[in-house]
Structure 1
Amino acid sequence: MTASTVPTATPKYGEGREALLRAAVDVVAHKGLRGLTYRAVAEAAGVNNSLVAHHFGTRDSLIAAAMEWSSEQSIASSRLREAAENGGTFTEALLDLLLEDPGLQVFQYEMILEARRRPELAGPVAALYESYVDALSGGLEAFGIRDNVRVVARTLFAALDGLVMQYLAGVGREELAAALEEVHQVVLLRRDGG
């Protein structure tokens, strides 16, 4: 894959660090973790590679910051709590979480796989999973789940994680929506039945 296949965007004033994080995610999503170099990130962001070193110092710091940023972006896009509080649909909120930005999901899977080879990434990967469980716990509470919320959230996230993998493997939106509607029915049973 050539560098030109990685989306490029020139950062605006005040967006430099975030533009570099977005670029790092895009580079890993398109080239894998082995393709993550200061030069590749700088090229994708449209800046000089010394700026990447200035903001992050080390490649591992860049990786850790990109992992945190990617989970924040995914969670912010889900609007799960907002859907619950405003009468929105559970399925659409979860589809947004799954499909809003597939590059974020690809990046995160690359990091999860890399953590199997590099134990120093195990902590940030565990934090990534916990951030999703925390967000889902809040959404489930807003939907009226009261008992064992974190257990239910972790179980729900396991289903979502698998569905994301299926989406990345080519399963269509309609099939995902049908699966998520089944998940929704289980959550409703949990809410209504305690």
Structure 2
Amino acid sequence: MTAAASKYGTGKEALLRAAVSVVAAKGLRGLTYRSVAEAAGVNNTLVAHHFGSRDALIAAALDWAAEQSISASRLREAATPGRSFTESLLELLLEEPELQVFQYEMVLEARRRPELSAAVTALYENYVSALADGLTASGLTGDVRVVARTLFAALDGLVLQYLAGVERSAIAASLEEVHAVLMLRTGSGTQS
């Protein structure tokens, strides 16, 4: 195993991490079996073996990146009191910005390649569902998915702004405001 492989771990997850990293650095056009294999420190036939096609690799990497982001951002716990929501999102952005860059690259590529639109739609639905789960668990009633989609749109925009270079403190203040709105909607008070 090479030094590069230790950066990503081992097995299929290492290939997914490598794919995310390659797309974040080079765009989707830079994603090849060879580039993923080199990043993961393996033979490119292993990438083909695990995924079968470039599109299958892309879809798997998109699903994996979304799950990693949802888990690390604690969206499911977003509607609970406490500062962990903002801190978790900022930590995710600081530690693994390539997850978000990869996803935005995929969103843009789906505009050019309609065959990716279903995967991107699923990406957003996963995020909205995670936030809706948290809102429902916190007692929100009514059309929870509409609220979740609206709040996620604000979060999505803030993440994009952060990646574009907006000051961390401005993003943190805005995340706190989004969290305060969540608290009001769920009846948990204005604690943030």
TM-score bracket, shorter-length normalisation: 0.7 to 0.9
Structure 2 spans left out of the alignment, 5+ residues:
none
Question: Hey, what does 1:48 align to over in structure 2?
Answer: 43
Q: Of 65, 68, 83, which residue of structure 2 is paired with 1:70?
A: 65
With the length of structure 1 as denominator, give the TM-score of the two structures: 0.86
Do the aligned residues in 2 keep the contact of 1:98 with 1:160 (CA within 8 Å)?
Answer: no
Aligned length: 185
Alpha-carbon contact 1:145-1:191 (below 8 Å) kept: yes
For 1:48-96, what per-residue CA distance to the aligned partner results, in whole angstroms no more than 9, with x for missing partners? 0110011111111100110111101101112243565685544334434
1:152 and 2:147 equivalent?
Answer: yes
TM-score after normalising by structure 2: 0.87
Question: Residue 170 of structure 1 aligns with which residue?
Answer: 165
Gaps of 5+ in 1: 1-6
Deviation string 1:19-45 (CA, Å, 9 cap, x unpaired) is 000000000000100100111000000
Partner of 1:3: none
* Aligned residues: CA RMSD: 2.2
Aligned equivalents of 1:146, 1:30: Cα separation in 2: 42
Q: Which amino acid aligns with 1:168?
A: L
Between the aligned partners of 2:65 and 2:155, the Cα distance in structure 1 is 16
Aligned equivalents of 1:170 and 1:161: distance in 2? Answer: 15
| 1:102 counterpart (80, 97, 100) | 97
**Alpha carbons 1:21, 1:69 under 8 Å: kept:** yes
Q: Distance in 1 between matches of 2:21 and 2:65?
A: 10
CA contact (8 A) 1:9 1:44 kept: yes
Counterpart mapping for 1:1-194 below 5 A: 8-10=4-6, 15-82=10-77, 87=82, 89-96=84-91, 98-192=93-187
